[in-house]
Amino acid sequence: MAARSSVRLVDLDPAQLRPLLAEALGVYVAAMHYPPGTVQQRSPMWMEHMLRADWHSVGAFDDERLVGITYGYHGASGQWWHDEVRRGLTGVDPAVAARWLDDYFELTELHVHPDWQGRGTGVAMLRRLLSTVDAPRVLLSTPEGPTRALRLYRRLGFTDLLRQYRFAGDPRPFAVLGRDLPL
C-alpha cells in the first residue's frame, strides 16, 4: 500500500457532524469490528449526545473522506455512563467516585478507520479534542485486552479507575480510565 498524506483535523459542531453521521458511524463499525447493523442502532444515541452540555467533536479527513472521529461532553448525574461508573467506583471507594465524577469531560468515542490506525491519527484527534475542554479531568471506558486503544491511553498518562468492569447490558469487560487535564 502506498504511503498516504497526513490527515486534516477539523473541529465539528453538531450541524457539521449530522450530514457525516453515517460515514462517522462507518468508521466506528470498522474500527470496533461491529456488524453493519450497528450503524442504525447507534445513530439515535450519537444524535442525542450532540445535545449534551459542552459537546465537542473532531474529525480526521484524508482529502474529503472521514477516517477518524472523536467526541465527548461534560459528564453529569443522570447520564447512563456516569451513573454506571458511579455505581462501580462507589463499590470500590466512595471518595474516589466523588473526586473523579464531580466535574469531568467524558471521552465518549474515539475511533480511527483500520487503514489509518498506527499512524498517530488517534493521538492527534485526542490532543485536539481535549485542548478545547474546560474540565479538570477526562474519563473514558474501553474494552479490556491488549488493544491499540488501551496502549494509546496508557502512553498519554491515563490511569485505571476500574478494571474488568461490566456495564449493565454488555457482557464484555471494560477498563474505566481517567486523567487530569490538561493533557
Q: How far apart are CA 42 and CA 34, in angstroms?
A: 11
Separation of first and last alpha carbons in the chain: 33
**32 — pLDDT class (breaks 50, 70, 90):** very high
76-90 tens-digit pLDDT: 999 999 999 999 999
Q: Summarize pLDDT for 59-115 with one digit per residue, the tens.
A: 999 988 999 999 999 999 999 999 999 999 999 999 999 999 999 999 999 999 999
**Residue at 50 is within a domain:** yes
How far CA 174 is from CA of 51, 144, 147, in Å, comes to: 26, 5, 12
Q: 3 lies in a domain?
A: no
CATH code, 84: 3.40.630.30
CB 141 within 8 A of CB 176: yes
2 in a domain, yes or no?
Answer: no
Number of domains in the chain: 1
Say if residues 47 and 21 touch (Cβ distance below 8 Å): yes
Active-site residue list:
153
Scanning the structure block, which residue is given the C-alpha cell 486523567?
A: 179
Q: In this structure, what DSSP letter does residue 37 have? A: T
